[in-house]
Amino acid sequence: MNEVEFRELRYFVAVAEELNFSRAADRLGIAQPPLSRAVRQLERRLDVRLFDRDTRTVTLTPAGLALLDEARHVLTTMAGLTRRIRRAAHPGTPLRVTAKAGMAAGMLRAITGHYTALPGAPAVDILVSGYREQAAMVRDGRADLALLTPPYEARGLELEALAEEPRMAALPTGHPLTRHPTLHPADLEGLPMPRGPGEDGPGPVVHDSAQLLEVVGLGQAVALVPRYLADAHPRPDIVYRPLRDADPYTISVAWAEGNRSQAVALFVRAALELYADVPD
């Protein structure tokens, strides 16, 4: 009984996502029979049935579902590792740091200024990234570091908290909840909330905070926003209300789990020196 190979995980994930061997094979650029065989081999190796298949339909078993989640994690870890090592080898490559527009971008500029003044610090490329894709960029190696704001999935990342901002509820003008001077998170339960691309759930998809405010102003959703955003964008069609007892809105610096690069460590230290007012 041999070891599971990376290729088999790639194949498995493709099939699990397509739930169709032929289409998955197409996507992988191989023929269908070798793919079927590879998946069977993986099943034999693990001694586990991963798919229930009859001649028409393919479905994941519970074990398959569990594997899908873990295999995806391994694949993105590997993709990120590859990118990081390739870059680490060529010295003088700039550090790539990402944050969304808004307060985080401002903090990023400040940290970068502090950092580049340090001896031995390489140049920094600032990547502006879309709504809530910062974590994914770090995981798969498109960026070395990110400033993150909740919600995010911490898996595969290491974090240091930098700063906290109180949260405000953003409501369309005239919304019934605007009668209350302050709100609790529970008041917003069940209301449509905007979500980033790739997240599922109800509510409209937005790519940046301008779009987010727009959908709130149009009455399509309510949102939780950090106070700086409320201060920076007063709008006649939006009413902001402070929230009591909400989770704090913590801005953290994040890097890939296991990334022990000198430049990354230096940047994190620079960030903590500037902003570390938050206990771990």
Q: How far apart are alpha carbons 34 and 31 in whole angstroms?
A: 6
For residue 187, the cross-strand partners are: none
Q: Are strands 95-99 and 58-60 parallel, antiparallel or unpaired?
A: unpaired
- Contact pick of 167, 226, 259, 270 for a second copy (by CB under 8 A): 259
Segment interacting with DNA (CB under 7 A) among 21-29, 98-106, 170-178, 241-249:
21-29
- Could you say whether residue 12 binds DNA (CB under 7 A)? no
- Could you say whether residue 127 binds a second copy (CB under 8 A)? no
For residue 95, the cross-strand partners are: 124
Segment interacting with DNA (CB under 7 A) among 25-33, 66-74, 87-95, 214-222:
25-33
CA atoms within 13 A on the CB side of 70: 7
- Contact pick of 26, 125, 158, 160 for a second copy (by CB under 8 A): 158
263 exposed, middle or buried (CB, 10 Å; 0-12, 13-18, 19+)? buried
Segment interacting with a second copy (CB under 8 A) among 59-67, 113-121, 143-151, 215-223:
59-67
- Could you say whether residue 55 binds DNA (CB under 7 A)? yes
Q: What are phi and psi of 31, to 5 degrees?
A: -85, 165
**Min dist. Cβ of residue 276 to DNA (A):** 45
Q: What are phi and psi of 241, to 5 degrees?
A: -130, 135
Residues 4/70, Cβ–Cβ less than 8 Å: no
Question: Which stretches of 19-168 are DSSP H helices?
Answer: 21-28, 32-46, 62-89, 103-116, 134-139
- Could you say whether residue 20 binds DNA (CB under 7 A)? yes
- Of 53 and 72, the one with the shorter C-beta distance to DNA is 53
Residues 252/275, Cβ–Cβ less than 8 Å: no
- Could you say whether residue 36 binds DNA (CB under 7 A)? yes
**Would you tell me which residues interact with DNA (CB under 7 A)?**
7, 20-22, 29-34, 36-38, 40-41, 53-56, 58
**Would you tell me which residues interact with a second copy (CB under 8 A)?**
3-7, 10, 46-49, 61-63, 66-67, 69-71, 73-74, 77-78, 81-82, 84-86, 88-89, 155-156, 158, 257-261
